[in-house]
Amino acid sequence: MPRDVPPNSLGLPKAPADTRVVVAMSGGVDSSVVAAMLAEEGYDVVGVTLQLYDHGAALAKKGACCAGRDIHDARRVAETMGFPHYVLDYENTFREAVIEEFADAYLAGATPVPCIRCNERVKFKDLLNTARELDADCMATGHYIQRKMGAAGPELHCAADANRDQSYFLFSTTPEQLDYLRFPLGHLKSKAETRALAAKYGLPVADKPDSQDICFVPNGNYASVIEKLRPGAADPGQIVDMDGTPLGEHRGVIHYTIGQRKGLGIGGLAEPLYVVRLDPDTRRVIVGPKEALSTRTVPVREVNWLGDEPLSSRPEWEVAVKVRSTRPPRPAIIRPLSDTEAEVELFTPEDGVSAGQACVFYAPDSSRVLGGGWIWRGR
């Protein structure tokens, strides 16, 4: 009888040398440290970088996660640590699964979050399948989130460093994916620890700045990208108040977001006005007072539930929710309409809740992520 092998650092009952790990490498410091750390521990590491859009256009752009320079940096890390590295062309998949929907959502007056769709439809779906085809035992990423074993199996938890936590962007990770994924950086207390590890391993990206932009949106200019994808999307229209009274002209609905106050070009009024609704069909931007932004009821669909019991097994759940990545979780109640749709009631109204954003669920007084859904009906 073979002797039982204790679990390795990835929780698998194998020696590291017998454990193949595909590491999703963006070329940044986080995923590079994950690959280097696992290689040093003796794992059979395979680095994979996705080319998600036009390589030539990418080379001239800095500050994005998938640029040509980043592919080069990922390759250099693999050479430094001595493990194989592959670049996969996912351009068509990325355009169809992420970019096209991003443009359509903006044209419909929503405020999409393409990084979540990329994780859901590309990295944790197609790339994860590729990892399985490579006979990998698991796939590791540089995301700041934690995977912990609970009574009912793997659970998703916030990162130890609240300032780096990426749980909002990973709410759609399914239980099956979570079983296969690993997040070796989630327990670190600060980004400084990550950079110290990069320096320790002698990685060429140790001092590389963090990416800020969405990878296919140069300098955060969403409107210019949408205009290229959807000619005519920036047609002008009217800015009106909540009664429909015209107050001015705008330069295209795609230039505005819910809660926006600056740049409306309608000064000289008695009180400050905010964008409270976008109506693409009539090309109207509707503005109103700040109190008109307050929302207590948030409808969500495409719910991904990570609780131990089915979402619809109870009439309601007390949770904490985030309606934007930059806001802390707030107390709320989820009332399921089915296993994939629900109505969320916020204890305290939130301003600027917008269709297209995610509403992410957390267990009360806990770091556990219970899933989330897509806000589908704004004001």
**Structure-block tokens of residue 135:** 């006979």
pLDDT value of residue 318: 98
Q: Report the first-to-last Cα separation within the chain, whole angstroms.
A: 65
Length of the chain: 379
State the pLDDT at residue 82: 96
- Which pLDDT belongs to residue 3? 58
Q: Are 11 and 149 in contact (CB under 8 A)?
A: yes
CA distance 194 to 131: 25
DSSP per-residue string spanning 42-93: T-EEEEEEEE-S-HHHHHT--S-TT-HHHHHHHHHHHHHHT--EEEEE-HHH
Question: CB atoms < 10 A from the CB of 223, how many?
Answer: 17
Report yes or no: 300 and 317 within 8 Å, Cβ to Cβ.
no
Per-residue pLDDT of the chain (379 residues; tens, 9 = 90+): 345 778 999 999 999 999 999 999 999 999 999 999 999 999 999 999 999 876 445 444 444 444 578 899 999 999 999 999 999 999 999 999 999 999 998 888 888 899 999 999 999 999 999 999 999 999 999 999 999 999 999 999 999 999 999 999 999 999 999 999 999 999 999 999 999 999 999 999 999 988 777 888 877 788 888 888 888 778 899 999 999 999 999 988 888 888 888 888 887 677 889 999 888 889 999 999 999 999 999 999 999 999 999 999 999 999 999 999 988 999 999 999 999 999 999 999 998 888 999 999 999 989 999 999 999 975 4
Q: Which residue do the tokens 């169809």 mark?
A: 96
Q: Does domain 234-288 have CATH number 2.30.30.280?
A: yes
Contact 168, 369 (CB under 8 A): no
Q: How far lies 257's CA from each of 107, 134, 221, 279, in Å?
A: 11, 43, 13, 11
> For residue 114, what pLDDT is reported?
92
What pTM was computed for the model? 0.90
What's the rounded Cα separation, in Å, for the pair 327 and 245?
A: 33
Place of tokens 């009106």: 240
Residue whose structure tokens are 């007084």:
365
pLDDT digit string, tens, across residues 223-276: 888 888 888 778 899 999 999 999 999 988 888 888 888 888 887 677 889 999
Distance CA 63, CA 313 (A): 45
User: What pLDDT, on a 0 to 100 scale, did the predictor assign at position 1?
Assistant: 36
Q: What's the pLDDT score for residue 59?
A: 40
List the catalytic residues.
118, 215
Q: Three-state SS for 239?
A: strand
- The reported pLDDT for the residue numbered 111 is 84
> CATH top-level class for 16-219?
alpha beta
- Asked whether 157 and 369 are in contact (CB, 8 A), the reply is yes
Report how far apart, in Å, the C-alpha atoms of 118 and of each of 143, 144, 273 are: 13, 16, 34
Q: Which residue has the tokens 């109640």?
A: 333
- Alpha-helical segments (H) within the chain: 29-40, 55-59, 68-81, 91-94, 100-107, 114-118, 128-133, 175-180, 191-200, 222-229
Rounded Cα distance, 126 and 54, in Å = 19
Domain limits, the chain: 16-219, 234-288, 295-375
Amino acid identity for residue 187 in this structure: H
Please report the pLDDT score of residue 222 as a whole number.
81
Which CATH superfamily, name and number, covers 295-375? Translation factors (2.40.30.10)
